Amino acid sequence: MTRLSVNINKIATLRNARGGNIPDVVEAAIKCEQFGAQGITVHPRPDERHIRYNDVRKLKPVVSTEFNIEGYPNRQFIDLVTEILPQQVTLVPDPPEAITSNAGWDTIRNKDFLTDVIRHFQLQGIRVSIFTGTEPEMIEGAAKCNTNRIELYTEPYATQYPQSAANALAPFKKAALLAQQSGMGVNAGHDLNLENLRYLVENIPFIDEVSIGHALIADALYMGLEKSIQEYLECLNIE
């Protein structure tokens, strides 16, 4: 079964809009795990516009499933991850001012940089995943960087899904198979929701993990956090 990691950035965004500590991101993470989430994902940015670096420190002792920290590997981020030692770090190529991640790594141009960062984290016992598109050369480049996993950037899949699910899926299935054949695990994330998630994992059943935040938290506004998590888990419960 593909594991569900809940990205709690949007909970922090809501808190930061008003100040104070409502909603409490630590309590939210605990509740997500109690409701069935198999991991917690955070993406701290230098401007701390959602998850703050101190949030990550507070979350470390309470996350009892799998802690995944994602972000661009500048020195501040590398130092934070090295301090926290999560089970997984996901490297994304977006600059600090980006609203959200919107592309995968150029694993050929950035091979030396990625290889060094990946080695650093692996020496700390941290599993490394890097954000990629579906281009075969970029998947092959990721393998040459010695990453443990890739995370497929699924926004193109989500955008095309309403017009043709099969066409939307095709490049992602090819990329996932290539990654698997290259010895890497496969994660997926970005714009996955209750409409398109089941089809993805039905057709790529060896996806290790999906990281979902925006849609899941938005659904929780209507159905509650527990029900929202259960609905996403149901999509992943493919026999």
For residue 213, give Cα distances in angstroms to 10, 86, 118.
7, 18, 25
50 is catalytic: no
Contact yes or no for 124/74 (Cβ under 8 A): no
Pairwise CA distance, residues 118 & 129, whole Å: 9
Pick left, alpha or beta for residue 146 (phi over 0 → left; psi -120 to 50 → alpha; otherwise beta): left
Q: Which position among 66, 70, 151, 209 bears the catalytic label?
A: 70
Active-site residue, from 50, 151, 190, 209: 190
The closest alpha carbon to 150, from 114, 116, 124, 120, belongs to 114
Instruction: Give strand pairing partners of 40.
Output: 6, 67
Residue 135 is among the residues annotated as catalytic for this protein: no
The burial of 233, by beta-carbon neighbours within 10 Å (0-12 exposed, 13-18 middle, 19 or more buried), is given as middle
Q: Which is the catalytic residue, given 33, 43, 66, 209? A: 43
User: In the annotation, is 140 catalytic?
Assistant: no
Residue 89 is which amino acid? V
Question: What residues are annotated to the active site?
Answer: 43, 70, 190
